[in-house]
Amino acid sequence: MANKKEKDPKIDALLKQVLQDDPPPETERKMKLQFIRFKKNIERARRAPERTSKALGQSLFQARSWDWLSWAVRKEVLAFSSMIMIAVGGFLHVSGHPNAMAETLSFVNTSFSISNQLREVQSMECSLQFTSEEGLHLHGTIRWLSPEIMRADVYEGDRASKSLWIEGSEILVADLVNHTNQKYHSLEQIEDPVFTPLMEFLSPENLGVAIYKKWEPRHYREQDKGRNGTYVYQIEGGKATLEMTVDENTHLPLSIKKFSLPPQGAAEAQTPTLEAQFLWNNLNE
């Protein structure tokens, strides 16, 4: 490379013109190299495009600016990538890649099924064990006697202490200990905290809404099949974790266990704050 540069005739002539006497060969060689470098720098600066923001912006829309990416669009690379993509996509799908959409569809379908079934139910008996807001462990029963009539009892020990009747649009709360009655026109008016955990079970509509929305289900997965023709749903909600056992023939819930969310850093709570066992008239037929 250096030899080639040293034979530049223009530089030779220029040197001879400038230097009347012959300099030492080593000095002449070094001077030539300096001149060649100088000339190259001037030419490069002349050829280089103007580096303004406008020129840079325009270059973004020119195909040659993206030539450095040409390796990525080579046919071999693209063919290989496309095959890999199809194979990975197919494999992920077939191997049951977890997907929120599929979980949602599955859960919404199950909710629809339960909701539809609840509408068909004529009567039901449900026994509940729950912890009241004061921290008392109570138990109660809820009976849907007909689509219009419902009764809920809360027990302290073996004796029913409070009772709630719904007949059409009339709601009656009876305190069986103090022998007092109170009438209401809507469930929202009832202020007695003892009935709060029971509200979601008082009608098929309430139960349907609670399963789908009120318990704020965010993650749900169907567990392995349970015993005696049932399947179990694990529902991680915003307020609580639920475990719902559903009858696979009737699509009605057989039991619901509600666990309060453990405080951050604490181990998972194992004792349910509410446990409901259902007995549907449809199942007895």
Partner 1 sequence: MTPKRNTKSLFHVLGGIAMLAVLIAAAVLSGRFAKFLDLYGLAFVVIGGIALILTSYNLREIAAALRSAGRAKRSDSEGHKYLIFWESASRNFWMVGVLATFMSFVIALTNSETIQGIAIGMASSLIPSAYGMILSVICLVPWLKLKETRSSNLPEEISGENEKTQERSASSFSFENMVGYVLIMAIILWTLIKAELSSHSPILPIWKCVVYWPALLFILGGTIALVLFVGSSAKGRIWTLGFAVTGLIGSFLGIIQALLGISWRHIQGVAAAVTFILSSCFFSLLGMMLVAAPLEDRSIKDSKKARHSTLSRAAWYVFPIVTLILLVITFIIVVTPVRK
Q: In what order do the strands lie in the sheet with 240-247?
A: 180-184, 170-175, 159-167, 149-156, 137-144, 124-131, 274-280, 253-260, 240-247, 230-237, 217-225
Cα separation, 83 vs 200, in Å, equals 52
- Nearest CB to partner 1, comparing residues 27 and 65: 65
- The secondary structure of residue 244, as a DSSP letter, is E
CB of 88 to partner 1, least distance (A): 5
How remote is the C-alpha of 60 from its chain's centroid? 38
Q: Output the six-digit token pair for 157.
A: 């020990």
- Nearest CB to partner 1, comparing residues 81 and 181: 81
- Nearest CB to partner 1, comparing residues 111 and 255: 111
CB of 140 to partner 1, least distance (A): 27
Q: How many CA atoms lie within 13 A of 14 on its CB side?
A: 13
Q: Measuring CA to CA, which residue among 235, 261, 274, 278 is closest to residue 133? A: 274
CB of 68 to partner 1, least distance (A): 17
Q: Measuring CA to CA, which residue among 250, 262, 257, 248 is closest to residue 277? A: 257
CB of 18 to partner 1, least distance (A): 50
- Nearest CB to partner 1, comparing residues 55 and 84: 84
- Nearest CB to partner 1, comparing residues 2 and 100: 100
- Nearest CB to partner 1, comparing residues 87 and 136: 87
CB of 80 to partner 1, least distance (A): 10
CB of 143 to partner 1, least distance (A): 25
Q: Output the six-digit token pair for 197.
A: 């955990």
Is 166 strand, coil or helix?
Answer: strand
Applying CB under 8 A, the residues found at the interface with partner 1 are: 61-63, 75, 78-79, 81-90, 92-93, 96-97, 99-113, 115-117, 208-209, 212-213, 216-218, 222, 231, 238, 248-249, 251
Rounded alpha-carbon distances, angstroms, from residue 280 to 230, 247, 254, 285: 14, 11, 8, 9
- Nearest CB to partner 1, comparing residues 153 and 200: 200
CB of 269 to partner 1, least distance (A): 22
Cα separation, 132 vs 196, in Å, equals 8
